[in-house]
Amino acid sequence: MKKRDVYKRQAKVLKALASESRLMIIDRLGRGECSAGELTALVGSDQSTVSKHLAVLRAHDIVEDRREGTTVYYRLLTPCVLDFFSCAARVIKERS
Amino acid sequence: MKKRDVYKRQAKVLKALASESRLMIIDRLGRGECSAGELTALVGSDQSTVSKHLAVLRAHDIVEDRREGTTVYYRLLTPCVLDFFSCAARVIKERS
DNA sequence: ACTATATATGGCAGTATGGCCATGTTGGCA
DNA sequence: TGCCAACATGGCCATACTGCCATATATAGT
């Protein structure tokens, strides 16, 4: 693959994560599966807003969902996204 | 600091990186200092566009600049941002 | 002071993003 | 079938981003 395309794909992943709300969701899912409802309460935005954030994460194969009755449970599909937290923490620490 | 603020700061860092052009710049700077002109040629966008990307990276203390005559040289101020590349690569690999 | 080179900035247009409200869909249960 | 609960989706608005062009700034050389 061309190097340019690699940058493009990496930028897409970063964009999918670059949101305060989505980081909250990912951090929570890093501690285990969780329903959309709980995530909505956690983030504190409108239910539709959180659902859209979840759609973004799904579209990027960062999370996957599982329906059980009327409840939809989400979990991390690529747990290594959690590594970004330590990276970001290092950056924030290093520059301050 | 409140957890919420941590997410906000991390999201800002990720946003600063979440751009194909800025990833190209960072990757290049990871291999050593480089002038704004060279970076412009590398990215291939208008000179003003690249200059603005550099301003974003400066504003987030990801790069710093050094003037020598009329030429401005950039270098990574927080080299650990390079870790994001391996993180992103892992994510892309893990989900495919 | 004048000119050329290297970079930065202001302004604009098109597009994307994030939030909300309203509505649609799906599943469980009477 | 009817209804409620849990999510998802469409539409809309305000704001932010990205690219370009034009212009401003800074430094060197004449």
Nucleotides in chain D near protein beta carbons (<7 Å): 5-11, 17-23, 26-28
Mean pLDDT in residue range A7-24: 97
pLDDT tens sequence across B57-71? 999 999 999 999 999
pLDDT, average across residues B10-35: 97
> For A6-35, what is the mean pLDDT?
97
CATH of domain A3-94: 1.10.10.10
| A65-69 mean pLDDT | 97
Contacts of A45 in chain B (CB under 8 A): none
CB-nearest partner of A24 from B7, B78, B94: B7
Please give the ipTM for the structure prediction.
0.91
d(CA A23, CA B7): 6
Confidence of residue A18 (pLDDT cuts 50, 70, 90): very high
